[in-house]
Amino acid sequence: MKQNNPSFDPGSDSTAKSSSKSQNSLIVFIGTTIILMLMGWSFYISLVDRSKLYDEIVMVTDQHHISTKDSEQESIADQKVTADLDDVVIWQDNSRWKKITNQKFGYQYDIPDLEVANLFRVETHFSTSSLSDYVNSLWYINSTEINEYIPNKSVSDIERRDINSQESYSFTVTGSFSFSELSGYIISSPKNKFVFLETESGVKIIVNYPVEKSELFDMALSTFIIDSSLIPEKLLPGFWEDVVSDNLSFSVPTNIFQLVEASIERVTHSTSSIKSYSFNNPDYGNLSVNISGENFDKESFDERNRDRLVFLGEVFLADRYWYRYKGGDAGCVWGLTRTGFDGGLVEVTFSACYDDVYPIYEEEDLVNEVINSFKFMGI
């Protein structure tokens, strides 16, 4: 028996395939659309988030600027407060104080090691008047002065007080200060306080400082001590030693002067050489001896130095005449004594400055003793 098989229709198979393709395309389209929508949404969200993040960053940055500005203002305020308190703090810090001692006049005080320390000025003046008379005289000069350049000058009353058991007087001056009708100086600050004290030998000490710093400088003034024991003892010449050169010799008291330098320098305008000896003492000053082969010519020397040196006269020492001169500059004074000999010229210079305790040019006996020790060979 023959079995009947189902018949095969090629047309129906093509239709089925077409329908299947259409369904697949629709699924791909829908999937692609969904994916694109999701990507678009993600991009949008990203933009929104970035915008929010930018706003937050701007806000934080602005807050930082505001915070920084506030910090700067606070810092400036703190600096101002610090500046106002700095002086007081420094005065409480003893490690930043410096002791000033004047051995010439015998006084001592403490001062902070600061720029403001330069405003605390201490001067000395010589006067035979009593301290009270001296102060009254200066007060009268300043209170009655008419100065066209300082039309608003004013002077306070004199105040008396003791500073470490030392009598003192003070008054304030605005604009300028005068020591006499002809001398004085302009004060840099609006108003200065002047305090007057006196040493045991009668030397007047004048301290002045700006009134706006008076709280600080009054503390420095409270440390002011006048004590003659601060002045080193004056030495009597001793332990003389000979210094021998080619054509001469001389002696120096080594307990006063120490040799600093001995040198030979070739002279440019002649064939001779100069021998130079330098001695020093911090309390007395300097002694120098120059020996040269230059011919001694007093008239020519006087003419060349007419504006620089004052001729004091002649003195006979060491078996010959010596000629003395005096000069000075910038608070220092030198005395020059010179003579000629067969081998050339000798110049002896004694020099000292204002703050030297025993200026050597004032020690005439010692100067004469040194010069009288010269011995010239073959004479």
What tens digit of pLDDT does each residue of 318-355 get?
999 999 999 988 789 989 999 998 878 999 999 998 88
Structure tokens at 31: 């999937």
What is the separation, in whole angstroms, between the first and last Cα of the chain?
A: 181
| Cα 32 off chain centre by | 85
pLDDT digits (tens, 9 = 90+) for 291-325: 988 888 888 888 888 888 999 999 999 999 999 99
More confident residue, 213 or 367: 367
Q: Which of 355, 306, 316, 358 is nearest to 337 (CA)?
A: 316
Distance separating alpha carbons of residues 180 and 137, to the nearest angstrom: 9
CB hemisphere CA count around 151 (13 angstroms): 0
Q: What is the mean pLDDT of residues 245-270?
A: 80
Distance separating alpha carbons of residues 234 and 148, to the nearest angstrom: 48
- Is residue 187 within 8 A of residue 206, CB to CB? The reply is no
Q: Residue 357 contacts by C-beta under 8 Å, 6 or more apart in sequence?
A: 103, 104, 231, 232, 283, 284
Burial, 179: exposed, middle or buried (Cβ in 10 Å; 0-12, 13-18, 19+)? middle
Distance separating alpha carbons of residues 223 and 216, to the nearest angstrom: 12
pLDDT digits (tens, 9 = 90+) for 18-76: 455 455 566 656 766 676 666 666 555 554 454 444 444 334 333 333 344 444 444 43
Structure tokens at 70: 């506030």
- Is residue 324 within 8 A of residue 313, CB to CB? The reply is yes
Query: b/e string for 54-71 if b means 16 or more Cβ within 10 A?
Result: eeeeeeeeeeeeeeeeee
Distance separating alpha carbons of residues 221 and 205, to the nearest angstrom: 12
Mapping DSSP to helix (H, G, I), strand (E, B) and coil, where does residue 9 land? coil
> CA dihedral defined by 232, 234, 235, 236, rounded to 10 degrees?
-170
Mapping DSSP to helix (H, G, I), strand (E, B) and coil, where does residue 105 land? coil
Give the mean pLDDT of the chain. 77
More confident residue, 211 or 35: 211
pLDDT digits (tens, 9 = 90+) for 157-191: 999 999 999 999 999 998 788 887 667 777 767 88
What is the DSSP code string of 154-222? Answer: -BPPPEEEEETTEEEEEEEEEEEEESSSS-EEEEEEEEEEEEEEE-TT--EEEEEEEGGGHHHHHHHHT
Q: What is the mean pLDDT of residues 241-250?
A: 89
